[in-house]
Amino acid sequence: MEKMKKTTGKLGNMFRTSGTRNGSYSVGLTVIVIAIVIVLNLVIGQLPENLRNIDVSSTKIYEITDTTTDLLDSLEEDVDMTVLAVRDDTDDRITTFLSKYGALSEHINIEWVDPVLHPSALTEYDTSENTIVISCEATGKSTTVSFDDILVPDMYSYYYYGSTTYTEFDGEGQLTSAVNYVTSDVEKTIYQTTGHGEGTLSTTITDLMDQNNYNLSEINLLMTTSIPEDCDLLLMYAPTTDLSDDETERLGNYLADGGKVMILLGDTNATELPNLESILEEYGMQAADGYIADPQRCYQGNYYYIFPQLSVSGDMADGISSEMVLLTNTHGMNLIDPARDTITTTGFMSSSDGAYAVTETTQEQGSYTLGAVAEETIASSDEDADTDSSEDDADETSDDSSDDTASEDTASEDTASEEVTSRLTVISAGSLIDSQITDTFTQLENTRVFMNAVTANFEGVQNVSVEAKSLQVEYNTVQYAGLFSLLVIFGIPAVVLIGGFVVWFRRRKA
């Protein structure tokens, strides 16, 4: 009995030691931490999917721009998105983005339909698997977006190596364009001129125009007697030869009747395009000789690669934040008095005061306009076709004064007047939308400035184009060796090692 008491006492003393107490404290703390983690997981698991996923991608593929949020905030009709795909087999990037996109508006309804379990759905929607059907019952319009349009595959890698990799993620651009299409009845037609050595629009630009539901067609002004009535904007991109006299007259008449024209000058001296230059001068823009060099706002010491100053407002400023635009082989313009007082010319892009217009023999310093808009409000009158016939009838019954008076009153009532505004937009560098710049420097706002300039020609139209986000891996590299690279390679590791040695030495002495 005494032995048992002694054994029990020894065991009790063991649990009263400081080591035992510390161990019990550690075990208890561990249990509490595990319980907290379990509870947090249960709570977070009940949250919506769009809140559970955090965008840690280097290119922010799940980040929604203001363009989309503004469009979705203004929605008044319900938009249904039917996803014809097996959800568990769908790429996580697509499912995550859809959940985040749908959470932005109560008017967006997303439904997943498994085409394996419901094969008739493919026939009902007349489409294929892995497709999103976007529709709006209020407008009766619908369209489709394929998964391949969202996750853009690398076809070179597929055909030559048999591997499937993706280069771009275009979820926002595709869905926002589709929502805009099914909820809006506005469609614009843009005619691009040909026959003057014009440049070819890159795929990036044509895709952005498709997202805005712009119909792009071509027109040769020498092969037509007039510009089509459905032309909402006449676009001339980087011409290398001049307009003929007939084309110049036709273009001038089109502007005088309230037309919209946008010109991007190419890599050609303005003196080689006298007819085109005459139209610019009529609207208050005089081309400067040579190319613009800007030592104050240049790219890595190359004076002819310049970052112009932007002074945009209204529709032109929509979505522009950094105001960083890169131009090369840039011509300049000087704003002069237009031919008529009714024309107002305003610059929206310019060089610094320290820029130079450089030719083979001269260098003229000054501030040069690189982009400008000229507007003119024109009062036009439309007469009803019946007016002429009424006047003829009045002549035949000239003996009856009352009939003659009635005819004149009818002619007066059928004559209606309205005001239209012509608009000429000129950008002095076609390189603004050169694919070598827009595809290489995707963080710049070249395409945004261009698309805003296009959209500004149309009333009640918003630029909803959103560029695809690259899926290429971004590496943190130091391009030029110097103090910064020495600090990263040697300085930081040395500080960590020295700090660790000091802590170890102090504890050893203690």
**DSSP letters for 465-482:** --PPEE-SPP----SS-S
Closest CA to 427 of 312, 275, 259, 302: 312
- Most confident range (mean pLDDT) of 113-117, 161-165, 272-276, 388-392 is 113-117
| pLDDT on residue 271 | 56
Closest CA to 219 of 203, 206, 232: 232
> Considering only 64-68, 108-112, 273-277, which range has the smallest mean pLDDT?
64-68
Q: For 150-178, what is each residue's pLDDT tens digit?
A: 998 876 665 666 667 788 899 999 999 99
> Considering only 79-83, 210-214, 335-339, which range has the smallest mean pLDDT?
210-214
Q: Which residues, other chains included, contact 405 with Cβ-Cβ below 8 Å and sequence gap of 6+?
A: none
| pLDDT on residue 405 | 47
**DSSP one-letter code for 358:** E
3-state secondary structure at position 356: strand
- Pairing label, strands 302-306, 327-328: antiparallel
Question: What's the mean per-residue pLDDT of the chain?
Answer: 83
For 296, the token pair is 């104050």
Reduce the secondary structure of 229-271 to three states and give it as a string.
CCCCEEEEECCCCCCCHHHHHHHHHHHHCCCEEEEECCCCCHH
387 or 497, greater pLDDT: 497
Mean local confidence (pLDDT), 373-398:
59
Confidence of residue 470 (pLDDT cuts 50, 70, 90): confident
Mean local confidence (pLDDT), 98-116:
94
Percent of the chain clearing pLDDT 70 (strictly above): 78
**DSSP one-letter code for 439:** T
Alpha-carbon distance 15 to 25, whole Å? Answer: 12
Mean local confidence (pLDDT), 381-393:
46
**DSSP one-letter code for 385:** T
Mean local confidence (pLDDT), 186-215:
92
Alpha-carbon distance 351 to 294, whole Å? Answer: 7
CA angle 116-120-123, nearest 5°?
115
Closest CA to 281 of 346, 336, 241: 336
Alpha-carbon distance 130 to 151, whole Å? Answer: 11
Mean local confidence (pLDDT), 310-335:
90
Block residue for tokens 């035949």: 396
Confidence of residue 314 (pLDDT cuts 50, 70, 90): confident
Q: Are 288 and 368 in contact (CB under 8 A)?
A: yes
Q: Which residues, other chains included, contact 30 with Cβ-Cβ below 8 Å and sequence gap of 6+?
A: none
Q: Is the pLDDT of residue 119 over 80?
A: yes
Estimate to the nearest angstrom the gap between the alpha carbon of 351 and the chain centroid.
24
From residue 105, how far is each of 68, 69, 77, 335 by CA, in Å? Answer: 11, 9, 11, 45
Q: Is the pLDDT of residue 268 over 60?
A: yes
Q: Is the pLDDT of residue 481 over 70?
A: no
Q: For 23-53, what is each residue's pLDDT tens digit?
A: 666 777 788 888 888 877 766 655 555 455 5
Q: Could you give the angle at which helices 171-183 and 203-211 cross, rounded to 10 degrees?
A: 40
